[in-house]
Structure formats: structure tokens, C-alpha cells
Amino acid sequence: MNVEQLFTGANIFVLPFWTLMILLPNWGVTRKIIESYIPFVILAALYIFLISGTLTEESAQALANPTLADIARFFAEERAAATGWVHFLVMDLFVGRWIYLEGQRTGLWTIHSLILCLFAGPLGLLSHIATDWIGQKFLTKPETEPTPST
């Protein structure tokens, strides 16, 4: 397999997980699949494969104390760009998994945050944090203390 095929395969690989979390969040099968670490192990293995063929002594030295120009040169190579993209895929999916599981645990609505996380990971995380804060601040019923009987 060449780098282009691995890149395309990784993009396709994550889609069923996002689809399940967004479209079928309350299906029991979704929860079982999303609770598994297997997708992350597979993506991490692909990442290790890609980065092991990407790092040279020169690039490792440059990345040890990088400048923006060093990063740009590194990612200008196709295999390095694919490595970085797989990094995004696995981390965004992991954050999406956390958002999904938190939503299942708390009953908080997460679809908007998951969609944002799919397309722009940190925005989805921020959306979930804001949604959770709003939910706790304005939507949670305050617990009332029992009144003492007289």
C-alpha cells in the first residue's frame, strides 16, 4: 500500500465511528463499539508505521526544538503530512469518543459538539465544554434541602 492509499483508508476508517455517535447515539451497539479502544490501537499502529518511515536524523533534530519553518518543511513531504493527518484523526476521534461518552453518562445533548469535533476537533471540544457549562448553570434543577419539621 502506498501513502495515498493509507491516507484514504484512515479517512474512511473513522467515518463509521463518527456516524454511529452522531446518528445513532442511543443504540446499544454504538455504545459497545465506541467504548472499545480497538480503533485507537489500529490508528496508533498506522501512525507508528508512518512516522517510523518519516523521521530522519535531520528531521528528528529539527523537530526536537522546532521553528515554524522546520514544521512547514517537515509537513511538506507527503508521508509526513499523512502522519500528521492520522494524528489529527486519532486525537479528534478520541476527543469525540469522550464527548459522546460524557453525553451518554450525563444525558447532555452532544450532536452539535460531535459534528464540530469531526470537522475541527478543538471547536467540538470547546462546544462541549460550553454546552456542559450552560447545562449545569441554567438547565440543572437545584437540589432543595429538606425543610426541618417543626
Residue numbers in the chain where pLDDT is lower than 70: 140-150
Q: What is the pLDDT of residue 93?
A: 98
Q: What is the pLDDT of residue 150?
A: 56
Q: What is the pLDDT of residue 144?
A: 60
Residue 149 forms part of a structural domain: no
Residue 18 forms part of a structural domain: yes
Residue 148 forms part of a structural domain: no
Residue 39 forms part of a structural domain: yes
Residue 144 forms part of a structural domain: no
Residue 146 forms part of a structural domain: no
Residue 109 forms part of a structural domain: yes
Residue 42 forms part of a structural domain: yes
Q: What is the pLDDT of residue 142?
A: 60
Q: What is the pLDDT of residue 94?
A: 98
What is the domain count for the chain?
1
Q: What is the pLDDT of residue 61?
A: 86
Q: What is the pTM of this model?
A: 0.87
For residue 51, give its domain range.
3-139
Q: What does the H/E/C string look like for the chain?
A: CCHHHHHHHHHHHHHHHHHHHHHCCCCHHHHHHHHCCHHHHHHHHHHHHHHHCCCCHHHHHHHHCCCHHHHHHHHCCHHHHHHHHHHHHHHHHHHHHHHHHHHHHHCCCCHHHHHHHHHCHHHHHHHHHHHHHHHHHHHCCCCCCCCCCC
